[in-house]
Structure 1
Amino acid sequence: MNKWKKELSFILALLMIAVLTACGSTGEETSSEQADAETEVNDEELTIGQINWAENIAVTNMWKAILEEKGYNVKLNVLNMGTTMKALESGELDASLEIWLPVQDANYLKEYKDSVNFSEATWYDNAKVGLVVPTYLEEVNSVEDLNEHKESFNGEITGFDPGAGTMEVTEQLIKDYNLEFELLPSSEPAMIAEIDKAIKNEEPIVAPLWSPHWVFSKYDLKFLEDPKKTFGGIEKIHHATRHGFEDDYPKVSEWFKNWKMDDQQIGQLIDYVESAENPLDGAKKWIEENQELVDEWVK
């Protein structure tokens, strides 16, 4: 009888060890599977090109905040437009969020249409580009008026980033209208600083600008008429991605295509990002106040 009890105890002990081992194994496997699933999301790094233009800084930081909330690791690479396109072609960059068509970035579309994916989807449909002057220059209302007032402007058009599509179109505009002007490249902040200085002193200045842009809410500026339509009419803003992006990031690819903003939304976003110490904080504040809209994009 004692021998039977001992054998039964031994069998029960073996069964208990087997059960505990099985439970432990299952727990380890579950934890391992969970870790793998988390790693799959968290290890995905997206690299987005950022150009130092007000609206570009705003939307790249907005998407960085949205995607990181979804578990992606997002890196913003600050590049100029020409380098951005080359990086998309080589695959060093995953996406660029600002391609102006049909006119401003037409040269890039022509050059890279076979090596970069230009999305047919647009996120802003009412963009405008052209030369602007302060509204107090009442006698200058058209590009055709510029030569007559060349001396007032010192024969200079204050420009921004060399290689930007709008800068190339401005060079074409100078040829189309036989303007006796030189386009001076710099950067967007430097160009805005020159506009600020001129307006404070009520001096003439002419520069290529675009809407949406916060500068129009700060200064009284007007677009010059462009009878030859060198700058085109209404521009639409698209995004572009490297080849293979849709296969690697199908969800993000779909979210980018769902993305739509109007004047008020982009204007408020730019304002929040511009006024924040950290652009990402400004973008997060905007997202928090516009969560329903963002949810429509990433549904």
Structure 2
Amino acid sequence: MDKLRLSLSAFALFGLCTLFTSGVAAGSKGKVELVYGEWTTEIASTNVVKVVLEDLGYDVTITSVAVGAMWQALAEGDVDGMVAAWLPTTQQTYFERVRDQVVDLGPNLEGTRIGLVVPSYVEVDTIADLQAQAERFDNKIVGIEPGTGTMRRTEQAMAAYGLDDMKLVESSGPIMTAVLGDAIKHGDWVVITGWTPHWMFNTYDLKYLADPDNIYGGSERIHSIARKGLAEDLPEVYAVLDNFHWTPAQMGELMAWNEEKHADPYDNARRWVETHPEVVERWLP
């Protein structure tokens, strides 16, 4: 019995020491601040990068802000980076304003797309067809947060295709997908501002409306952006942001986890990192 007590005491002491040293290590290399837009793609990617940097010993803060504020904070050096820049179409206007004040590290995910999306059963195939069927859609295009690149492009598309009888409704990503799901449940017609990758394409049978005038642009990429001076101040952090790259399928796996009931994006990001060590290894300095 004495030996058992000794063993348990040693085990408890080992656990306490491990916890203490982990606490010392966390943040011992410095603080890192990342920003992102409150979109399913960026919730997934930003939390993954947070986990990776924490495991390297940094104290990482992530903050969700409006897209304009995201770029401005980076340009002014108030934050260290982001992995949420949709280029060359969706956020190009913001990028052009601060191009000389930030560092573009290139794509972290390729093959993205934005546009107007409807359930496959909707008998409309192009954006121009929406005007004649406006009443079937309750004269609404369900959008997301105002000021985003997707919403700005949609406003341009509505003008270009003469959608005078339709109104662009501002909401959020979760509200937009909730409206979509409810419409599909009842077989109603609905049109939304959509993007790929997104879990809704794995859940529902959807289609993009053709965009002959190419208002929404073609295939896009999500870029990582760093503040000026990050390479000198925190070279290891800069290297991770520079190396970070994954596929739509890999991101889609994490996004699907995040849609599960009571899901926690941070916990799921840690689960993803621990499940894919060979991918994470390529991101490290």
The TM-score, its normalising length taken from structure 1, stands at 0.83
When structure 1 is superposed on structure 2, of 191-200 and 254-263 the one drifting more is 254-263
AA aligned to 1:280 is Y
AA aligned to 2:57 is G
| Contact kept in structure 2, 1:97 and 1:239, CA below 8 Å | yes
- Secondary structure of the residue aligned to 2:100 is coil
AA aligned to 2:269 is A
Q: In the alignment, which of 244, 249, 258 is matched to residue 264 of structure 1?
A: 249
Q: How does 1:185-200 map to 2 (within 5 A)?
A: 185-200=170-185
* Cα displacement (A) at 1:295: 0.3
Aligned partner of 2:126 in structure 1 is 142
Q: How does 1:1-299 map to 2 (within 5 A)?
A: 42=28, 44-119=30-105, 121-137=106-122, 139-180=123-164, 181-275=166-260, 277-299=263-285
- Secondary structure of the residue aligned to 1:152 is helix
Counterpart Cα distance in 2 of 1:168 and 1:57? 21
AA aligned to 1:144 is A
* Cα displacement (A) at 1:117: 2.4
| Contact kept in structure 1, 2:27 and 2:54, CA below 8 Å | no
Aligned residues: 261
Return 5+ residue gaps in structure 1 as ranges.
Answer: 1-34
- Secondary structure of the residue aligned to 1:225 is coil
Identity %: 35
* Cα displacement (A) at 1:269: 1.7
* Cα displacement (A) at 1:41: 5.9
* Cα displacement (A) at 1:151: 1.3
The TM-score, its normalising length taken from structure 2, stands at 0.87
Counterpart Cα distance in 2 of 1:39 and 1:64? 15
Counterpart Cα distance in 1 of 2:26 and 2:257? 33
| Contact kept in structure 2, 1:124 and 1:261, CA below 8 Å | yes
| Contact kept in structure 1, 2:273 and 2:280, CA below 8 Å | yes
| 1:79-122 C-alpha deviation (Å, 9 max, x unpaired) | 11111112112222211211111111111111111222233x21
| Contact kept in structure 2, 1:272 and 1:283, CA below 8 Å | no
Q: Which has the larger radius of gyration?
A: 1
- Secondary structure of the residue aligned to 1:88 is helix
Over 3 Å counting, the alpha-carbon distance change for 1:241 and 1:260 in structure 2 is same
| Contact kept in structure 2, 1:274 and 1:282, CA below 8 Å | no
Aligned partner of 1:27 in structure 2 is none
